[in-house]
Amino acid sequence: MTSLRVETSAKRVRAYLAGRLVADTRAPRLVWEHPYYPTYYIPKEDVRAELEPGGADEPHRTLGTPTVSTVRVDGAAAQDAARAYDAPELAGLVRIDHQAMDAWFEEDREVFAHPRDPYKRVDVLPSSRHVRVEVDGVTVAESASPTLLFETGLPVRFYLPKTHVRMDLLEPTRTSTDCPYKGTAEYWTLRTGETAHEDLVWSYSTPLPESIDVAGLVCFDDGRAALFVDGERHSE
């Protein structure tokens, strides 16, 4: 097995299921199971819920062989939501599935989707670049006052005022996604003639504090839409 990247965080981390406290630790470990973002591992002594032996799972090439448990607390249960791996770096730690819990908190702020990476940064800046978005040869948005969101390790995103977007071409969908840095996004399908481009457009109506300046603005997936910045085709 290759060595794991494991760091101790100074944040107090809590997890809840059905309003019941599952874990409360002041020494969580951040474990990079993959390069994109970390996962919280909790010292076993800080798990308040019962860990009932559960199903089986395949060994992981880096983490080792898991012991799978169902999380039970005051009548609430999350099936096979906890794993303890036998990699030496993870001794005495439990991984509780983020999505299986109802809520996670870093200190007293709720965190969504996955733990925040301490080495990741979000900058939101106003700009005077001219941005035009084209789909199927139709200009669907054009603005000289975009807001640019820079997120470590990801392409720059161009957020535009709704008044600069052909909102008449957009149909809201039921899709939503969560981000620990931006919050919950809502999506639209864009129609050009008979063609529907599903979930091509998104917006954060109530973003988290570090991304508050994109509140109510609209962003296009420029992997599927043609985005021109100052007259030049932008690519991710």
The model's pLDDT over 62-89, given as tens digits with 9 standing for 90+, comes to 999 999 999 999 999 999 999 999 999 9
Whether residue 2 has pLDDT greater than 70: no
Residues 71 and 153 in one domain: no
pLDDT in tens, 178-202: 999 999 999 999 999 899 999 999 9
Residues 101 and 127 in one domain: no
Residues 55 and 140 in one domain: no
Instruction: Please give the single-letter amino acid code of residue 17.
Output: L
Whether residue 236 has pLDDT greater than 80: no
Residue among 70, 66, 117 at smallest CA distance from 90: 66
Number of domains, the chain: 2
CATH number of the domain encompassing residue 70: 2.170.150.40
Is residue 207 in some structural domain?
Answer: yes
Residues 146 and 226 in one domain: yes
Is residue 31 in some structural domain?
Answer: yes
Of the chain, the percentage scoring pLDDT greater than 70 comes to: 99
Whether residue 161 has pLDDT greater than 90: yes
3-state secondary structure (DSSP) of residue 167: helix
Q: Which residues have CB under 8 Å from 209's CB, separation 6+?
A: none
pLDDT in tens, 92-105: 999 999 999 999 99
Q: Which residues have CB under 8 Å from 126's CB, separation 6+?
A: 145, 147, 148, 213
pLDDT in tens, 13-55: 999 999 999 999 999 999 999 988 999 999 999 999 999 998 8
- Which of the listed residues 77, 110, 143 is the one where a domain comes to its end? 110
* DSSP letter, residue 165: B
pLDDT in tens, 203-219: 999 999 999 999 999 99
Pairing state of beta strands 109-110 and 103-106?
A: antiparallel
Is residue 192 in some structural domain?
Answer: yes
pLDDT in tens, 109-154: 999 999 999 999 999 999 999 999 999 999 999 999 999 999 999 9
* DSSP letter, residue 209: G
Residues 75 and 41 in one domain: yes
Of the chain, the percentage scoring pLDDT greater than 90 comes to: 92
Instruction: Please give the single-letter amino acid code of residue 123.
Output: D
Q: Which residues have CB under 8 Å from 101's CB, separation 6+?
A: 15, 16, 17, 22, 78, 81
Is residue 116 in some structural domain?
Answer: no
What's residue 235's pLDDT?
79
Residues 55 and 134 in one domain: no
Residues 57 and 91 in one domain: yes
- Rounded CA gap, 40 and 115, in Å? 7
Structural domain that includes position 175: 122-234
Whether residue 166 has pLDDT greater than 80: yes
Residues 97 and 134 in one domain: no
Residues 106 and 126 in one domain: no
What's residue 38's pLDDT?
96
Is residue 1 in some structural domain?
Answer: no
